[in-house]
Structure 1
Amino acid sequence: MSNFGSGIFYTILGRYGNFLINLGVTAALARLISPAEFGVVALLQIFTGLFQIISNSGLAAAVVQNNSLTDEDTNAIYSFSVLFAGVVSLVIPLVGLGLMLYKQDMVYLKASVFMMATVYLISITSVPNAVLMRQLKFNILAYTQLLNIIVSGIVSVTLAFAGFGVFAILTGTLTATLTDFVLKFFITNIQWAGIHGKSIYKVKSFAINILSADIIKYLTSNIDNFIVSSMFGSVALANYAKSYQLIKYPQFMIGGVFSSVLVPVLRQKQDDLAYIHNFYTKVNEFVAWISFSVSGFMVVHANEIILFVFGRQWGTAVTPFTYLALAVGTQILISLLFPMFEVLGQTKIMVNLNIVNVFLSLSLMIVGLFTHSLSLFALTVAVGIILNYFIDYFVFNIRVLHSGWRKSIVDVKMLIVPIVFSAVLGVILILFKKFVGEYTQSPFLLILSDGILFLIVLLVAMKLFGILNSLFNLLWK
């Protein structure tokens, strides 16, 4: 098995195990904790996620991508990250204080203290995590990921049963991040080495561009939460956040499996554009078949998915989720595209693209805001994701791979077949769902029955079109 194949195997093991455990934990917590309490966490995460990106400062990505770094450089970068993350994390309680005064609720300040510790631990674990990726130790990354979600789930659900509410979620997350840090710190044997300007300088430009791109992407993907919270209220935010959380799962489980492996595996091929183009095109085509089909499945079964995962109290999240699910296919493909900019060191172009994405997404959100409908607002968010992908795809092909317009159009045409197939598959699933619905109204059984049919039809189609053979060659050669 190739390094790429090994990476995919262990990443699937970690991510899918994480998903299944997290699905059970989320379903339990959704029944034990109210939407309003989830809204507290969702609002704070808008800010803490940004501080987490800043405290990481693009260093982890630089450690993975840069082939010239020595162990001494890595230790120096880690030392810098520990100090910088500490300074940034101290700002989080100030945000909690501001929210407490604005919302007139002490819970925001208390929760911010938990999140401060969590963000700091995540940030100082990023460089050890990058070292493991650089060394292609995907097995260790998978096993620690599974251990962390188990620890988090046990703590969160236990405390939720005991009536700790929002602090059950926060304590579970904090415990898991502490476990993750301790394990990876000792496994990598990373050392405190003081801060050396020479080592930081090696990754400065790349890290700054990654940091800028990550901040812009984060603002793009979270400004909708802020708008919903301000204009529609905390309960609407909880419904919207739950909907958005569900459409992120396919990105995490499908796109994330490949994107997390691409940079460490392809970094040795940075100067071979022909190889990079061929490799990316094959991976992108395979993922497109799955991602667009999953998008269709989620649209057809939006009601059943919401009811099964979160319960009937979250029924108002069904329509926003349906609209957001339309963008799942392109959202997954975007997660494959941006790591390719990192592989080839074209992070400046990536930053500029993200600025364009922000303006387009924000413009569409403003249109959605004027509809005074949470569901239509979700639709404008979905349209923004779809348009941004095709803009980014053409820029990558033309500016980075130097493919030209004709070649780029030919490449994008490969998406037509999987898009058409997903539409046909959606019709089949609707008809089969109606048939099964005559015998049961159980959300679980409806999802299960259509899910089995979905897998069979998708695998047969991918085999007939030669997509599975193409992937097999990538995994084993």
Structure 2
Amino acid sequence: MAESLKEKTAKGLFWGALNSGTTQLLNLVIGIFLGRLISPAEYGIVGVLNIFTLIAGNLQSSGFSQGLINLKSPQARDYNSVFWFNILAGFVLYVVLFASAPLIASYIRQPCLVPLSRLVFLSFVISSFGIAHGAYMTKNMMNREIAIIGAIALVCSGSIAIVLAFLGFSYWSLAWQQIVYIAVLNLGRYWFTPWHPSFHFTFEPVKRMFGFSVKVLITNIINTVSNNILTLVFGRLYPIKAVGDFTQAYKWDSMANSFVANAIGQVAQPVLASVHEERGRAVRVFRKMMRFTAFFSFPAMFGLAIVSREFILVTIGKQWVDAIPLLQMLCIGGAFVPFYTVYQNVALGNGRSDVYMRCNVMQIVLQIGIIALFYQYSINKMVMAYTLFTIAWLMVWQFAAHRIIGVRFSAVMKDVLPSLLVASGVMTATYFATCLIASPALLLVVRIVIATLLYAGTAKLLRMEMMEEVVKWVERRK
């Protein structure tokens, strides 16, 4: 019997959450080893390259991954067309960036970036061979297989990076980590995907998807700039160590908030696309995703905020102490970041890539304005302003979602506020109840245990819907 949409969504969320959880756990272990073996300045050197690699990756896929996912029934010829387009774009972009390496090094004032960037940029050439396969797996909600592939790729790439860092390869170990990760990920996609490319192709499907995909492309580039602009600006304005501290803080923050965002992202667009013709049903699906996001995101991110100091000191050491206040601020804003995934997929799932593009264009324009106002102040003040803006901009996305599917702000608040208030109360109580503990290691463990038990107990006592659904879901599988 074919699975219902509800069953597929629940199964997809489970495997998406498992994938995100496994990914972040492995990243945690790998990050601890690398954080102890590589200095903040060395981290900063690789960190400033992220924006160039990600923008090139956006140009390479050109939004056609989302275009494939948004098609009702994509055929083999559609995947094949996107596959060969991605490869062509990947090689062209690598040539351009290879030639641009000296300019990038000159802007950051780090000559070592010339050979390093040319190696790092190879990662998106390799990734071009697996983008269409990744879209196939997402479209068909192969979340279990995605989880397996991701875990294997992380273990392989992380192990190689740790060995290289131990042998003294410094920032080169981080570069090779990216290369190996993409290569293993692609091999896994080929193994699990029944579709395989052929040399008989036409770019007609690419042309047909262009109108939708080009808006997604522009928006993805803007998102990339938005998410990485501080690192690029800091690379020019501040010492490379400060860039490394921010890169480390941003990495831990991203790992935590992406646990929820990735779980939602793997099912949001295909599910919302399948119900976009039924407005009432679309609203119910959207609200369910918002409740799921709030229930997990707020305790995870507020919890990381209150243990940031102990976490940094115990795991990667005192050399990263300047990253602690940055991580605390980023965690507050990071609690709201997963909601962007839900809102953005409302637009994409309903074919409104124009709305998706406009909201993100306005966001980056205002972010640049904030940077222009605060660049003369300390790095901490700029991050604080960036965090507050990240939270406030969700109101614009809510207005867009109301226009697209009719969901009201009052309904969203009803879904989100219970988790926000409970998480805030629990973390505040945990912080003050444990503030007299002197040992960072003991304090880290005690705060995690108390906050987890207190949040779960409070949610159960208040009979919060998501807590009851989680309990029922677990009981059905016993």
TM-score range, shorter chain: over 0.9
Specify the alignment match of 2:424 in structure 1. Answer: 423
Specify the alignment match of 2:372 in structure 1. Answer: 366
Distance 2:116 2:412 in 1: 48
Pairing of 1:395-406 with structure 2 (within 5 A): 395-397=400-402, 399-403=403-407
Specify the alignment match of 1:89 in structure 2. Answer: 94
Residue type at the aligned position of 1:361: Q
1:382 to 378, 387, 392: 387
- Number of equivalent positions: 467
SS at match of 1:327: helix
Query: Within the alignment, does 1:452 sit opposite 2:449 as a pair?
Result: yes
Distance 2:111 2:232 in 1: 20
Residue type at the aligned position of 1:272: E
Specify the alignment match of 1:351 in structure 2. Answer: 357
Specify the alignment match of 2:206 in structure 1. Answer: 200
SS at match of 1:144: helix
State the 1:143 CA deviation. 0.7
Distance 1:324 1:179 in 2: 31
- 5+ residue gaps, structure 2, are none
State the 1:102 CA deviation. 4.4
Specify the alignment match of 1:12 in structure 2. Answer: 17
Specify the alignment match of 1:441 in structure 2. Answer: 439
Distance 1:103 1:267 in 2: 42
Specify the alignment match of 2:398 in structure 1. Answer: 393
Against the structure 1 CA distance between its residues 472 and 345, is the aligned structure 2 distance closer, same or farther, given a 3 Å change threshold? farther
What TM-score, normalized by structure 2, do the two folds share?
A: 0.92
State the 1:310 CA deviation. 2.4
Contact 1:43–1:225 (CA<8 Å) still a contact in 2?
yes
Distance 1:15 1:244 in 2: 17
Distance 1:347 1:174 in 2: 31
Contact 2:26–2:155 (CA<8 Å) still a contact in 1?
yes
Pairing of 1:78-477 with structure 2 (within 5 A): 78-102=83-107, 105-188=110-193, 189-370=195-376, 372-397=377-402, 399-403=403-407, 407-435=408-436, 437=437, 440-443=438-441, 445-463=442-460, 464-470=463-469
Pairing of 1:19-38 with structure 2 (within 5 A): 19-38=24-43
Distance 2:375 2:450 in 1: 38
Against the structure 1 CA distance between its residues 48 and 314, is the aligned structure 2 distance closer, same or farther, given a 3 Å change threshold? same
What are the superposed Cα offsets for residues 187-227 of structure 1, whole Å, 9 maximum, x if unpaired? 32421345423211331112111111111111111111122
Distance 2:38 2:116 in 1: 15
Larger deviation, residues 34-43 vs 458-467: 458-467
Distance 1:473 1:342 in 2: 31
Distance 1:100 1:54 in 2: 21
Distance 2:140 2:416 in 1: 34
Larger deviation, residues 141-150 vs 447-456: 447-456
What are the superposed Cα offsets for residues 213-270 of structure 1, whole Å, 9 maximum, x if unpaired? 1111111111111221211221111111111111111221112111211223343222
Distance 2:361 2:16 in 1: 30
Distance 1:454 1:307 in 2: 20
Contact 1:79–1:192 (CA<8 Å) still a contact in 2?
no
Contact 2:108–2:236 (CA<8 Å) still a contact in 1?
no
State the 1:291 CA deviation. 1.8
- 5+ residue gaps, structure 1, are none
Residue type at the aligned position of 2:405: L
Contact 2:283–2:405 (CA<8 Å) still a contact in 1?
yes
Residue type at the aligned position of 1:451: I
Residue type at the aligned position of 2:328: T
Contact 1:368–1:378 (CA<8 Å) still a contact in 2?
no
Distance 2:225 2:87 in 1: 24
Residue type at the aligned position of 2:345: P
Distance 1:140 1:449 in 2: 35
Larger deviation, residues 357-366 vs 270-279: 357-366
Percent identity between the two aligned chains: 17
What TM-score, normalized by structure 1, do the two folds share?
A: 0.92
Contact 2:122–2:179 (CA<8 Å) still a contact in 1?
yes
Contact 2:15–2:144 (CA<8 Å) still a contact in 1?
yes
